[in-house]
């Protein structure tokens, strides 16, 4: 499914989203696009969120749409050069891993050199009777953009589009031949 059909089918202010994406892309067309609608709850209200990520040969365009009180919405757009992508990672879930069959879920995480997630916990030592304060230990993870696509929740087509997105990304990052 092409980008514009995917946005239309999301049903989340498609005219405004398309206009914002076309403005960010200029005259270009995306190689691949991910589109994900989420629902959030805040103080008894339900709010929808839409994230659209489009990949071109030179840039990755990220739109995030938030539904606001009173029926309005805001659209935040970020454009990153492909050359500035520090890396990406994927996690694939297979129902039959022995035959690499039954891909049911794909998580894609892009490191855009912006945000990081830090998981901290108290440091411990081997002595069970130790009462000393050993400080903290932690792990830092890139956390700029993460998409989780599930065949059960998003449909098989969305999962296939996510695989196509990864293939284009790998090509642009130089791990696949042109």
Cα–Cα nearest to 21, from 49, 60, 58, 47: 60
Backbone dihedral region for residue 40 (phi beyond 0: left; psi -120 to 50: alpha; all else: beta): beta
Structural element, H or E, at residue 101: strand 101-111
Q: Report pLDDT digits (tens) over 120-172.
A: 888 888 898 988 999 999 887 665 788 999 999 988 999 999 999 999 999 99
Flag whether pLDDT at 51 surpasses 60.
yes
| Predicted pLDDT of residue 177 | 57
- The pTM is what? 0.77
Q: Are 50 and 11 in contact (CB under 8 A)?
A: no
Q: Which CA distances in Å does 8 have to 77, 108, 137?
A: 18, 23, 46
Predicted confidence band of residue 18 (pLDDT cuts 50, 70, 90): very high
Which pLDDT score is estimated for 41? 76
Q: Where are the alpha helices (DSSP H) in 11-111?
A: 14-25
């Amino acid at each position: 499914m092409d980008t514009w059909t995917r946005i239309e089918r999301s049903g989340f202010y498609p005219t405004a989203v398309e206009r914002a994406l076309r403005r960010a892309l200029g005259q270009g067309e995306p190689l691949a696009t991910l589109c994900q609608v989420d629902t959030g709850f805040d103080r008894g209200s339900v709010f929808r969120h839409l994230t659209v990520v489009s990949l071109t040969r030179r840039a990755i365009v990220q739109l995030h749409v938030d539904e606001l009180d009173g029926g309005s919405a805001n659209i935040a757009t970020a454009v990153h050069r492909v050359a500035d992508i520090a890396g990406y990672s994927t996690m694939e879930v297979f129902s039959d891993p022995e035959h690499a069959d039954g891909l049911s879920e794909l998580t894609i995480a892009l490191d855009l050199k912006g945000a990081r997630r830090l998981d901290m916990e108290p440091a411990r030592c081997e002595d069970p009777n130790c009462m000393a304060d050993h400080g903290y230990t932690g792990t830092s993870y890139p956390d700029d953009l993460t998409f989780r696509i599930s065949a059960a929740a998003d449909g098989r087509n969305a999962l296939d589009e996510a695989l196509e997105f990864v293939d284009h990304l790998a090509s642009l990052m130089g791990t696949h031949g042109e």
